[in-house]
Amino acid sequence: MALQYPLLFPYGEDCWSNTIPYREDRKRQKKRDSISIREFYLYRLHERYHEAKTLLFYSGRLFQQYVVDSYAAIETERLQWVKQNQKSLRVELFRGLQDAITTGETIAGAIGKRYILPSSFYGGPRHMYQNYQDAMAICRVVGFPDFFITFTCNPNWNEIRSSLGRNQRVEDRPDIVAHVFHIKMKQFLKNIKNQMFIKVLAGKPYYCQQLFSLCHIHKFISNIFLQT
């Protein structure tokens, strides 16, 4: 990253490597000894006032590009882990004749060369299919949803405005927007679960982040008073 962003890291600061050890902590139960790339960028993308001021959070669109590249690096490491752990994911069944028949594979040389993304991989086809099956199972038990609720981030929230630096705009700090929205989203879902608005039988949220739009979620809920 330092070579790709010389304006943000003029002194060639070290970025992530798989040799960065954890801090000594007896309560830590993790098996590995070094931090992951996701943990590194979680630490890096958090402004600390006791540290020296850097250009990272005040570089406008360059900061946005840095965030995108950081996410791409995290996603690449996840895909690499899936590729190297196909046996432990028990995907031999999907690699064989079943997938070939399902996809209509006609070239024998192509069978067995694909890598399978498990349902735990966010955004993968099996993850989406599992969410669909969960939603259909809820509909089978309690019926179709009665409400379609959209909860959208508001760029004028005081929590966002008060966290911006001098001469900064909302679009300059997507990290602050995402943090504030996530906190409010969790509280909103908690209020629904605690029957604060209406008495809910079941529901399922879907998080969205589209191009040229703010963070938002869609929530399908079934109201007990509308059941017949």
Per-residue confidence in pLDDT tens, the chain, 228 aa: 778 888 888 877 778 888 888 877 666 666 777 888 888 888 888 887 776 566 888 888 898 899 999 999 999 998 898 888 877 776 555 555 555 666 665 555 555 567 778 888 888 888 888 888 888 888 888 777 777 888 888 889 999 999 888 888 888 888 888 889 889 988 888 887 887 776 766 666 666 665 445 676 766 666 654 443
The total number of residues written for the chain in this structure:
228
- DSSP-derived letter for residue 206 is E
How much of the chain is helix, strand and coil, in % rounded to 5? 45, 10, 45
| Residue burial 73-89, b: 16+ Cβ < 10 Å; e: rest | bbeeebeeebeeeeeeb
In the chain, what are the domain boundaries? 1-84, 117-228
Q: Check: pTM over 0.75? Answer yes or no.
A: no
Residues in Cβ contact with 111 at an 8 Å cutoff, skipping those fewer than 6 apart? 95, 96, 99, 100, 105
The confidence score (pLDDT) of residue 226 equals 43
Q: In what order do the strands lie in the sheet with 200-208?
A: 147-152, 216-223, 200-208
- Can you tell me whether residue 55 is helix, strand or coil? coil
The confidence score (pLDDT) of residue 158 equals 93
